[in-house]
Amino acid sequence: MDRMKELVDILNDYAFHYYVLDDPIVSDSEYDVLYDELTALERSEGRVLPNSPTRKIGGEPVKAFRQHEHIRKLYSLDKCNDFDELRAFDEKIQKANGGKAVYTLEYKLDGLTLCLTYENGIFKCASTRGNGSVGEDVTAQVNTIKSIPASIPYKGTVEAQGEGIMRWSAFNKYNRTADEPLKNPRNGVAGAIRNLDPKVTAKRNLDILFYNVNYMSDGNLPTQAASIDFLREQRFKTGELWKTDSMEEIIDIIRNVDRSTLDFLIDGMVVKVDDFALREKLGYTDKFPRWAIAYKFEAEETSTVLKDIVWQVGRTGKLTPLGILEPVELCGATISKATLNNYGDIQRKKVKSGSTVFIRRSNDVIPEILGIAEDRGGDDVSPPKTCPACGAELYESGAHIFCPNDEGCPPQICGRIEHFASKDCMDIDGVSDKTVFQLYEKLGVRSVADIYELREEQLVSLDGFKQKKITNFLNSVEASQNADLPHFINALGIPNVGKVAARDLAEKFGSIDAIMSAEFDELVAVPEIGDIVAQSITGYFKRHSELIERFKRLGISPVYKADAGEGFFAGKKVVLTGKISMPRSAAAELLRKKGATVSDTVSKDVDIVIAGEDAGSKLEKALRLGKKIIDDKEFTELINA
């Protein structure tokens, strides 16, 4: 009983910070562990304390907002994190139904639940879920969301339930200029909706995806699929919906969800019985419908103690802070390091050594420190004055800190060599970071051009370089001399010039000599090349003209040769947007082989837009401009024709 009381107090304090103050002090995964411990104790003791958070669906309305009573109660969802629990759920449904049931599957959006009421086709009000029966009236705030319809065709009364979200694209754009950066998109949307000033809400550029008709005054919808169709007919934005009678198929879909491809945060998938008549038969508990369950993904976010910050030097001379963490388990790995963007990022996030910080890990990327969770009175982080690698005096440019010693700073030199040899550049086989270090230390390689003058008798001295590896390396170096112009431009490592800009430059100018002699105005006329990138290009070639001449002496001076191509896409300018059935880079390469030009932006001169799942603003702009739209299926057929 003492432990139950302790857990109730802890969880209620966490909930207050999360739901009321919009200032979470613990990660969702840590909250869930304590919540599950409490529910297990309640089951074993056979009682629930009066103030237990397990009695609640959500936080109570804050006093600053007028209360709104929902026409029909908004329920929470039961959850699981094990596929066997999904199978057990399926068995219960089949037993009640006397056979197989049809299910729908949807993303479990990680934002803030909202309920919008329309009367006689006009938007009347919006509210949070609150305790399920009464929420907070946030009409003025929700009115700032551009995607919600001001009016709908349906003339009765309807409550449409959805999830307010802040897309990753909007989150990243906001944080680039915000004085107080957001910890994550979920925190961003919650804070925006519960802000008393709608102007603050509008700056977050929120969105909302709808998934439920909570109430309608006349007529009955037969299924969840029909509900989504109804919402779409009323011009509400909805998410993706799968439909099947096989739980194994649902499990397979869940296994293959790639969260990194989505522009919004999800923390699971929701399984629902499709048939509303069967739902009525199954009924509800006090908190949950018995006909739905949420499968929760393993957390990508947690919190731990920041022990120290060290500074790493990259190939451009920019110093990046790396946080040394108290080791913590996340996404099946032990995490002991996490990145911050720059010193300005440290200041904006108010990160201190010794503080507790939120960290996020997606796929196999090094985790990022999102912000401070709890200030334990640690030490402020001071910017370095000298380069930790070469001792040169540093300089600041905007929010970044740079080492100016580009010709004598080992990490810069090694970084440029590794980038030059990478697959997206000259594609030289066998050049790992370990190999680069040996090339620098043992063979005195100081320039990327030095690679082309290495000899077999030198390579023998390198660890791990047996005859076969030496032969493969030298053959790969020789083959790289025939690299095309876009790869060569990318390999040079011009600041702010990546794969897309490199290809645009190659297509526009055709040779390195032409790019070197291009005026500023000519450069900014190229799509995707703005003032800053143009300045980077002109500055690079002023400093490195001798390197280009050395490449010419080595026989490396590629010119651009466009694929003539044939078929439907030949000569067309194409934009890819949304999720399609192959990697975007692979699709772009296939299009170029068919003679198409691939652009990142929708403009008047674009001919075709290939729109996959979750296509956003690019698709909307293409529709406004009247461009030809092709879906994933049609694209696959045409590209293989």
- Give the residue numbers marked as catalytic: 108
Choose among 467, 470, 468: nearest CA to 439.
Answer: 470
* Nearest-angstrom CA–CA distance, 522 and 500: 17
Position of tokens 């739905």? 292
Question: What's CA 470's distance to the chain center, in Å?
Answer: 40
Give the DSSP letter of residue 189. Answer: H
DSSP line for 106-165: EEEE-SEEEEEEEETTEEEEEEE-TTSSEEEB-HHHHTT-TTS-SB-S--SEEEEEEEEE
Burial class (CB in 10 A: 0-12, 13-18, 19+), 94: middle
Element housing 68 (H / E)? strand 67-69
How far apart are alpha carbons 612 and 608 in whole angstroms? 13
What spatial distance separates the first Cα and last Cα of the chain, rounded to whole Å? 70
How many C-beta atoms surround the C-beta of residue 104 within 10 A?
21
> Is 486:499 a contact under the CB 8 Å cutoff?
yes
Take residue 50 and report the two structure tokens written for it. 């009066």
Grouping H, G, I as helix, E, B as strand and the rest as coil, residue 536 is: helix
Quote the distance between the C-alpha of residue 41 and its chain's center: 37
Secondary structure of residue 575 in the 3-state scheme: strand
H/E run at residue 41: helix 28-45
Q: Are 478 and 456 in contact (CB under 8 A)?
A: no
